[in-house]
Amino acid sequence: MDICYYPGCTLKTKAKNLNLSTISSLANLDIEAKELSRWNCCGVVPSLASDDLLRLIAPVRNLARAKEEGYSQILTVCSMCYQTLAMANQIMQEDMEKRDIINNFMEEEGDYSGEVKVVHLLGFLRDEVGWDRLKIAVKIPLVGLKVAPYYGCTLIRPRQVGIEPLESLTLFRDFITAIGGIPVDFPSSTECCSSYQVVSNPEISDEVSSGILKSAEEWGADILISSCPLCEYNLGLRKREKKELPTLYFTQILALSLGLDEGSINLELNSDSAINFFKEKFKDVLC
C-alpha cells in the first residue's frame, strides 16, 4: 500500500530522526510513504485573520499538487503541518468566495476544493493499519516502559480539525498499549509548549516546558513522546540546567518496538538524556 507523504521542511533538516523513523516504520508495515514530488513549506501556523488569503496559498498549493498527482489522502507526521494543512483544507471546502479567489490567483496549480483528506499518522495507524495488526508486528514490546504521551495543541485543537475529540483522547493511549508500553495520563498532556514563542520570548518557553516535563515525571513517566519538531525542541532539545525527563518522537519508539535498526530509529539528533536513557534501557536490543 502506498500513501502520499508530506514531511515538512524541518523533517528534512533538524528533525531527520522523525522523518526516517516514520518512513522506515511504515515500510516495515508494508506501507510506502511516497513523498509528494513538488512541495513547499506549509507555513507552520494557519492564518487566523478572516481577510487573509495570502497565507492560505502555501498550504493550499501542496494540497492542490497532491490532488494533481491523483492522491485522495495526504499523510503528515508533524503536528503543526497537520493543523495548517487541515485548516486550509477546511476553508477551501467551506468558503466558496475564498476558494474562488485563491484558485484564480494560483494560476500555476489546478483548481482545488478540498478533495484531498489530511491525515495524521496516529489516525492512519488506527484506521488503515489497526492496533491489532500493529501488535502482531511488534518484535520488541516496550515492557514496563512508562510513556507519557504529549499531544500538545495542534493535533487536537481547534475542534473542527482535531484528530480526535478532546473529551476522549484515546489515540496515543492505544498506540502505546499496542507497542507494549504503559501509557501515563498526566494533566499537562494537552498544554501548549509555547511553540513559536521560543523565538520571541524564550524564557516563557523554558518555564512552560519545564512545567510540562515536571508534570509527566510526577505522574511516573519514564519518557515523554511527541509528534512535533517544535514541541520536541522546546521540551527536549533546549539546554536547561536541571535534569529533565527524556523526550522522543513517537515514531522512534514505534521503530524500536518493530525491531528496526539504530539507523531507522535515528537517535543522534535527540537530546543526550534521551540517547543515554535508551542506550541504557535497550542496550541488548539496539543493534
Partner 1 sequence: MTIEITDKTYNGEFVKKIEEIGGKDFHKCMQCGTCTGSCPMTYRMDISPRKIIHLSKFGLKEKVSGYNTAWICASCHSCEVRCPRSIDIPKIMEAIRQVTLRQNINYIEPSEISEDILHDLPQIALVGCFRKHTS
Partner 2 sequence: MSNPNTQNKDEKTASTSSNLIPVFIMGKRYDVPESLTIMKAMEYAGYKYIRGCGCRGGICGACATVYRKPGDYHIRVGLACQTVVEPDMYLTQIPFFPANRAAYDIKPIDKDPEEVFKKYPELFRCLACNACSKVCPMDIQVMDYISAIKQGEFEKATELSFDCIQCGLCASRCMAEMAQYHIAQMVRRITGSKIKPRAKHLNDVVSKIEKGKYDNIFKELKALDVNTLKKLYTEREMEPAATPEDWSPQKKDYL
Which residues contact partner 2 (rule: CB under 8 A)?
A: 9, 12-13, 38-41, 43, 54-55, 57-58, 61, 106, 108
* 193 contacts: CB under 8 Å, gap ≥ 6: 150, 152, 205, 208, 209, 212, 230, 231, 234, 235
Q: Is-contact 235 212, C-beta < 8 A?
A: yes
Q: Is-contact 126 231, C-beta < 8 A?
A: no
By a kind-dependent CB cut-off of 5 to 8 A, residue 253 interacts, out of partner 1, partner 2, none, with none
Binding segment toward partner 1, per CB under 8 A, in 158-166, 244-252, 257-265, 275-283: 158-166
Q: Is-contact 46 88, C-beta < 8 A?
A: yes
DSSP 213-236: HHHHHHTT-SEEEES-HHHHIIII
Q: What is the DSSP letter of 35?
A: E
By a kind-dependent CB cut-off of 5 to 8 A, residue 53 interacts, out of partner 2, partner 1, none, with none
Contacting residue, 90, 113, 177, 197, with partner 1 by CB under 8 A: 197
CB of 176 or CB of 230, closer to partner 1: 230
**Whose grid coordinates read 483522547?**
169
Q: Any contact of residue 246 with partner 1 (CB under 8 A)?
A: no
Footprint on residues 82-111 left by partner 1 (CB under 8 A): none
Q: What SS3 class is residue 179?
A: coil
**Whose grid coordinates read 514496563?**
144
Number of other CB atoms surrounding residue 32 within 10 Å? 11
Q: Any contact of residue 233 with partner 1 (CB under 8 A)?
A: yes
**Whose grid coordinates read 481577510?**
51
By a kind-dependent CB cut-off of 5 to 8 A, residue 157 interacts, out of partner 1, partner 2, none, with partner 1
By a kind-dependent CB cut-off of 5 to 8 A, residue 194 interacts, out of partner 1, partner 2, none, with partner 1
Where does this chain bind partner 1 (CB under 8 A)?
Answer: 8-10, 13-15, 41, 43-45, 47-52, 55, 78, 80, 153, 157-159, 166, 190-192, 194-201, 204, 208, 228-230, 233
